[in-house]
Every structure is written in structure tokens, then in C-alpha cells.
Structure 1
Amino acid sequence: MIACIARAAALIGVAALICIACAAPAPAPTPTVTVTAAPTTTTAPTATAMPAATPTAPPTATPVTRNLTIWVAELPDAQAVVASELHRAAQIGDLHVTIVPRDPDGLLISLATDHLLGLPPPDLIWADQEALVGLLADNALAPIGIELPADLLPGLRTLASSNNTLWGAPITAQDMLLLLYQLDCSPPATAADLVAAAQAARTSERAGFVQGWGAARWLAPWFYVAGGAFTTPDGAEPTLDTPAMTTTLTLLRDLYRAAPHNGDSYTRGQRLLTQGFAAYAIDGDWAWATYRAISDTFQIGIAPLPSFNGNPTRPLIGGSLLMRHRDGQATPEDVTTLITTLYQPEVQLRLSAALGRLPARRELLTDASIQTDPVRAIAAMQVTDAPGLPPTPAVRCAIFGVESYLYSATTGDLPINEAPLRMQREALACLRQFVQP
């Protein structure tokens, strides 16, 4: 999950730019009523009719437990948590579920392999928004067909929908960028303050600022606040060649001046920060496991991203969703039963605590279990207005266009005034691959 948008671009940009079983309950046997007719005799003067036999009651049908196969594309530490909640939800609806763990990065390949082998597909799939993009490109999903909670975070609704169709139910919120700073530093309130503080903190032995320099996720928070958008409002065409892109790239170049002298990669930046050799960083909530693996005594200050152009910054939101495979046999009733249970407050909060993510429902963000967790509490401050990227070709091509030139524009190898137009042209060339007859 280190560079979510970069993974999405790989799904669509290069490979030709993109290249549940529920047996119906057995019907109750048709009751057979046996009636004994009065015997007819020719020797007795009077025929005595025998009483009709009492009809037998139909046997009670034995309920048939519905069986669903659910693929869970999560990292190993999260597999057991998600499986446990899916089993609990299934019991409520008299369902039996078989959980199949899958590597998130190998999900699409696993589906394609099973298809070639003639194996049945899963009925439901639990995965993130990047997997949703690839599954849609492969025409592997059916609309989820449920009513989402009224207080679902807006960005989650956006990332799960395209063409007015809901393709998954977002169950958790995640992938929020946060400002991290050494405890001997102070959290800046504005982007200009961050630039000044980072550049002042840079020395021959200490980097002033580190982040993922080549991924669009790190550009997006500033780009949205500057008035930019990756596509037109209808989502049909990229919109990268704008003054907002120039403004954003200028900020990123100013921040880059505080980057390490001898290596600016994302993984090196994480190590420098953990070891105290970087003053400030912007990184995601997903990175905590990495930091703890580097140092079990890791301590860092956490704050929301600084404001920009006088407005709160808007980092992108991600999520984990439950999706319905188009060739699976899960019924709408099955799906509704599972998802309704997963949206219950106690389930949402259990998942949030166990996975280190946020609940998908806005009304739960103020719960004490979240507010006492520094990482989730800061992420909750930004998540209400966080934009989600819809799983459309234009958006993914826009990301591809941005990432084609973002690093070189940030480092100064490409003039900033040339980068927006080049990004737009690259995005349009990508998009043309989708509209070819």
C-alpha cells in the first residue's frame, strides 16, 4: 500500500492501458394427500361408505444453509481480522462463508488463473479501491445493489461509483496522508511555514523534508486546494494543464529543496525519519508498520497537513470495499445481510481499532477509541472532506499523466511551465486507448 495511486496507474496505464455458490433452498416437497374411496360392492344391498383418510401434513423442509466464497485481499496481519468479522456477519444471516486469503498485488492474476483452469469465481471480494479499478477494467464486477448509510464519508461513495453505479460497499476508510515531525520541531500551520521550517532544518547531516516525490497522491492535497481537479466534472476528460497545477508544482519544488542531499527515494526518506535524520515528512497511515519495523522505539509528532492558499488541505481518501463478482451467485439478500451487519457501529469500531483504519461512517469519528489514538485522531480531522477518486479511465489516465512528469518537474529537470501541458498530453494519449473502437 505504499504508493496506492502508482499501483492504480500500473493497472491501467501500461498493460494496453488496462487489459457469490448459493444453492437456492430446496423446494418443500409437494404434499401428497391420500384419500381412500368407499369400496363398491354388488352383493350387499346397502353400500357403507368408508371414512376418508385424514390428509397427512407436508413434511417440514430442512433449511439449506447458503454458502458463499469470499476472497479477502489483505496483508497477512489484517486477514484474520477481516475474516473474523465476515464470519460473524454471516452467522447473523444464516450464511456459511468460506474465506480465501489473497495477496492484494496478485488478486487479478489469481482471478485470471482460476478462470483459465475452469474454477468457479468468488461470490464476493474484499479489496481496496485500487483493486476495484482493475476489476472494473476486467469486467469482473456486478453492481453491489444496496443502499449505503446516509452518513457514509462522501469520498468513499465517490471512489466506489462510476456512471451512477455503485460497484462496492466501502467498509473502512484509510490511506490518509499526515504531517510527521521530529519532537524537537513544531508543526507548521501553513504550506509556506512548512517550506520555511523544512529548509531551515536542513543541514549536511539532516534532511529537512521527505515524502514520496514521484506519486500523484502526494501532489493531490495541494492540487485540490489550489482549485485543480484531475478531470472535468463529468469525469470524461483529464484537466491537468491549468494554473492550479503550476501552483502545486511550484510548492513541491520549494519543498524539494529541503530533501536529502544523497538520495530522495520514498523508502530512504522513511528510514531517515525513523532514525532522526529528517525533520519533517508527509506519509500515510499505512506506513506505521514500516516505521515500527525499523525502530520499535519510534516516536514522532503527528499533525494534519498544513493549510494552503488559506484553505484546509484535502488529502485523498482510500477504502476497503466488499464487491460482488459478476459470475458469483450471491443474492441481493445475502449481500444486504452481510453489509448491513458490517455497517453496525460496534463492527465498524472493532475493525477500526484492529486494522488501524477509520470507520466508513462519519458519526463514529468522534468515538473515544478513535480520539485517543494519535494517528487515527489526526486522520479523522481530515477525512470528512477528503476527495475520493472515482474508478474511471479518465481519472486513472490523469494520474498516469501526472506521474509521467511529476518527479522531473519537482527536481527541476523539467521546467515547471512545461510540465502541465506534457502531463495533459500524456493523459489524453492514455485515454485514447479506451475509446478506440
Structure 2
Amino acid sequence: MICVAALICAACAAPAPAPTPAPTATAAPTVTPAPTATAMPTATPAPTATPVARQLTIWVAEPADAQPAIAAELQQAAQAVDAQLTIVPRDPDGLLLSLATDRLLGLPPPDLIWADQEALVGLLADNALAPVGIELPADLLPGLRTLASSADTLWGAPITAQDMLLLLYQLDRSPPATAADLVAAAQAARTSERAGFVQGWGAARWLAPWFYAAGGAFTTPDGAEPTLDTPAMTATLTLLRDLYQAAPRNGDSYARGQRLLAQGFAAYAIDGDWAWPTYRAISDTFQIGIAPLPTFNGNPAQPLIGGSLLMRHRDGQATQADVAALVDILYQPDVQLRLSAALGRLPARRELLADPSIQADPARAAAATQAATAPGLPPAPAARCAIFGIESYLYSATTSDPPLKDAPARMQREALACLRQFAQP
């Protein structure tokens, strides 16, 4: 009992103070660093688009042996201006037909065309060209500028000069200085076994050097009208008739004349640079003297000049800027001289005609003597009709005996009749 009472008394007694809890360690406050300025993230530049090279197609209408050199220079020019060229070789004689065929088949046309002045005339007649719209070099040969333009519009950039007639003579002869001397030398050289003189008798190209030297011209200065009925034409026809007296007696065709010259059976000839492959094919030992044409009426002969041009197809993708960029390279002196050497032609720029590489080549040196004054025919109907009028009567006027007084007027009438056909809608 005592134990129970004691427990009860103890429970009723004042409670003892609660034990003070041991102080817990207070963590030292951490210092929060002041926020640093966060740099704005730099924008990653978008990848620049790699420029896409201009993709252009060019048809090159040149003989097969000229294609490699031209293609090489065109490709180098294209690389220099970040363009890609697809070069398609074409037969010069089939250029217009190839374009017409592709058009019928629905194929795209070329963007650019490299061809000669005769092709330019046909392309213009087919309405296939767009103006090139560039500045030509100030020293471009004047005749080339003429043959590339009509109605104050430039249709092509002439890159090479060619197709000028030269005097060819056997090495046992010497080149006459005047047309009268040529007549005398050719007639004296004619024998029963040797022709004194050969050329293309019925073609206007062989009449032109003397006609221009005598003060004539195929057309008016603006290229609008034929101008054949002049005293210059009578004088020219008289000269050609005198030269014909030295022609071969048993056939006067152009092809026969080439064979006779290559085989040593003609003393003198007038022919152009396009004929060299023919002569070499006839005789692999062909050697000939080469000189500029003689003077006539006291003036230098003026053979027509031709050229190869870079042109722009009207339905192609090439722009005037594309043409300007390419020709800027093609007109550089080193390119011009490489093309001249590879093709046997002249540069288009007058300042390069005196280059030693040209003067060391007898054919190019002789052609260079005539190039600065050589006329070019504009790609206009009047010039084409003048050729038609001349060739309607040239062979008969040269080879027969009737008086020459009526021939110039007849040529002019034929040329005007041809021009009227062009004028018809």
C-alpha cells in the first residue's frame, strides 16, 4: 500500500522543468553570387548558298579540224567567268537545218552560236538571233564591225578574221605589183601545157577586190540599196576579161584551177585561206608563193573580209551579260593570238596584226597587209541581192566577147528585182 501511495503522491507533485534541448548547429548562410550578365547567344550565320555556275549550250559551226582549238578557248573563257558550257560541234553547211529540225522536234535551241558571217545572214533571215548588246574593242577591224551589224544593231561579236583572197604564184615566178602587171605576167606564162591564171570566175567574191579598189561598192553606205551600175564595174569587168585570156583552155572551173595550181600546171591564182586543206589534199608537197593582191587603178585591192562570230539565239537562256563576259576573255591578246595560230586566221583586233607570230607566217602576213581596209558586207538584203545581181551576169561578161557596156546595168536591175522580193510582205 505504502508503495502505491508513494506513487500517487509523486504523480501529484509539481512537474520538473523540461530539459532544454541541445542547440542545433545553424548552417552558415551561403552567399548567393550576384548574377553575372549572360551574353546573348550569337546567331549562327546561315550557310551561304554556293553560287551555281551558269549552264549554257553553244553550237560551234566550224570545220572539224578547227573544233578542238575553238572548244579549248571557249571552255577556258567559261571557267574564268564561272559558267559551264556544253559545246556541240555542228557542220557549218547544216547549221540552219539542224536548228529547224530541233525546233520541229520540240528540242530547246542553243543559247549561243559560233559561226561565220554567212551563217549570221541565214540566222537573221530565220529571225533566230537576239542582239548581243556589247561594246566591241575600239581596234576591231572595220570590215568585221560592218559584217556583224545591220540597222545599227550588233548581231554578233567577231572573234576571228578570215576568208580574204590572196595572190598565189609558183615559186619560179614573182608577185606582180599591179593588176596590169598581173595580166601581162599571166598571159605570158600561158602555154599549151600550163595555164597562166586560175580563180573562181563566176563568183562575186573574186570581183570585189578590184571593184572596191576602183571606187565601187556593193551597196550604199547605209546598206539599203545595191550600187552596181557604175564606171567602177565596167573597169572591173574589163580587168577580169583580160585575166581570163590566161585561163586554161580545156576547163576553167574553180575546182580544176585548184588542181592545176597544186600540181604546178598554173602559174598564178587568186584564192582564199579556206582552200589550204584542198591544196594539201591534192599534193602533199604543195608549196606556193603568197602575196597580197596587186593594186588596181592606183589603189590597194580590197578583198572582202569574213569572220567567225559569237551570237545569241533569241530563244536561248544566254543574256547580253553572258556574251560580254565571254568576249571580254576572247578578245584578250593572248587568246586572239592562240586562235590565230591554231586556225591559220587573223585576230579580230588591228593592234595584233603586227605580232611576230603572224608576220612569220607568209599567208597570215599577206592577209594582214589587206585586213585594215578590207570591206565587210552587212547582213542586209541589199548586199545579198547585189551578189545575186553580179553573179547573174559575171561569168558571161567575163568569158565572152560582147561589149561590156550593158552588163553593169543588167546586174543592177537583177539586184533591184531581188530586193523587191525581200520587201514583199
TM-score normalised per structure 2: 0.90
Counterpart residue number, 2:262: 274
Counterpart residue number, 2:280: 292
**Separation in 1 of the partners of 2:304 and 2:382?**
17
**Separation in 1 of the partners of 2:144 and 2:42?**
61
**Separation in 2 of the partners of 1:331 and 1:167?**
13
Does residue 395 (structure 1) correspond to residue 395 (structure 2)? The answer is no
Q: 1:249 aligns with which of 237, 243, 263?
A: 237
- The Cα of 1:183 is off from its aligned counterpart by 1.2
- The Cα of 1:342 is off from its aligned counterpart by 0.3
Q: Which amino acid in 2 is paired with 1:181?
A: Y
Counterpart residue number, 2:32: none
Counterpart residue number, 1:59: 47
For residue 304 of structure 2, give the secondary structure of its aligned residue in structure 1: coil
**Separation in 1 of the partners of 2:99 and 2:229?**
37
Does residue 265 (structure 1) correspond to residue 253 (structure 2)? The answer is yes
- The Cα of 1:254 is off from its aligned counterpart by 0.4
- The Cα of 1:232 is off from its aligned counterpart by 1.6
Counterpart residue number, 2:310: 322
Counterpart residue number, 2:112: 124
Q: Contact (CA 8 Å) 1:408, 1:414: kept in 2 or not?
A: no
- The Cα of 1:56 is off from its aligned counterpart by 4.1
Report the identity percentage.
Answer: 83
For residue 226 of structure 2, give the secondary structure of its aligned residue in structure 1: coil
For residue 276 of structure 1, give the secondary structure of its aligned residue in structure 2: coil
**Separation in 1 of the partners of 2:310 and 2:363?**
25
Structure 1: gaps of 5 or more residues: 1-49
**Separation in 2 of the partners of 1:361 and 1:294?**
33
Counterpart residue number, 2:342: 354
Q: 5 Å matches for 1:140-155?
A: 140-155=128-143
Q: 2:153 aligns with which of 150, 165, 171?
A: 165
- The Cα of 1:53 is off from its aligned counterpart by 6.1
- The Cα of 1:58 is off from its aligned counterpart by 2.3
**1:397-425, CA deviations, whole angstroms, 9 ceiling, x for partnerless residues?**
00011011100110016541221111111
Does residue 409 (structure 1) correspond to residue 397 (structure 2)? The answer is yes
Does residue 80 (structure 1) correspond to residue 80 (structure 2)? The answer is no
**Separation in 1 of the partners of 2:414 and 2:60?**
34
Structure 2: gaps of 5 or more residues: 1-37
Q: 5 Å matches for 1:418-433?
A: 418-433=406-421
For residue 48 of structure 2, give the secondary structure of its aligned residue in structure 1: coil
Q: Which amino acid in 1 is paired with 2:218?
A: F
For residue 281 of structure 1, give the secondary structure of its aligned residue in structure 2: strand
For residue 119 of structure 1, give the secondary structure of its aligned residue in structure 2: coil
Counterpart residue number, 2:192: 204
- The Cα of 1:333 is off from its aligned counterpart by 2.3
**Separation in 2 of the partners of 1:293 and 1:156?**
30
**Separation in 2 of the partners of 1:63 and 1:435?**
48
**Separation in 2 of the partners of 1:268 and 1:83?**
34
**1:366-395, CA deviations, whole angstroms, 9 ceiling, x for partnerless residues?**
111101011101110111110000000001
- Deviation >3 Å, runs of 4+: 50-56
Does residue 434 (structure 1) correspond to residue 401 (structure 2)? The answer is no
**Separation in 2 of the partners of 1:397 and 1:333?**
34
Counterpart residue number, 1:283: 271
Q: Which amino acid in 1 is paired with 2:216?
A: G
Give the direction of change, closer, same or farther, for the CA distance of 1:306–1:261 in structure 2 (3 Å limit).
same
Which is higher, the Rg of structure 1 or of structure 2? Answer: 2
Paired positions, count: 389
Counterpart residue number, 2:56: 68
Q: Contact (CA 8 Å) 1:371, 1:377: kept in 2 or not?
A: yes
Does residue 188 (structure 1) correspond to residue 176 (structure 2)? The answer is yes
- The Cα of 1:332 is off from its aligned counterpart by 2.4
Q: 1:305 aligns with which of 288, 293, 309?
A: 293
Does residue 342 (structure 1) correspond to residue 330 (structure 2)? The answer is yes
For residue 71 of structure 2, give the secondary structure of its aligned residue in structure 1: helix
**Separation in 1 of the partners of 2:70 and 2:280?**
22
Q: Contact (CA 8 Å) 1:177, 1:285: kept in 2 or not?
A: yes
Counterpart residue number, 1:385: 373
Q: Contact (CA 8 Å) 1:104, 1:127: kept in 2 or not?
A: yes
Counterpart residue number, 2:215: 227
**Separation in 2 of the partners of 1:139 and 1:415?**
42
**Separation in 1 of the partners of 2:114 and 2:222?**
28
Q: Contact (CA 8 Å) 1:128, 1:321: kept in 2 or not?
A: yes
TM-score normalised per structure 1: 0.87
**Separation in 1 of the partners of 2:139 and 2:221?**
23
Give the direction of change, closer, same or farther, for the CA distance of 1:99–1:198 in structure 2 (3 Å limit).
same
Q: Which amino acid in 1 is paired with 2:182?
A: L
**Separation in 1 of the partners of 2:410 and 2:160?**
36
Q: Which amino acid in 2 is paired with 1:173?
A: A
For residue 61 of structure 1, give the secondary structure of its aligned residue in structure 2: coil
RMSD of aligned C-alpha atoms? Answer: 1.4
For residue 370 of structure 1, give the secondary structure of its aligned residue in structure 2: helix
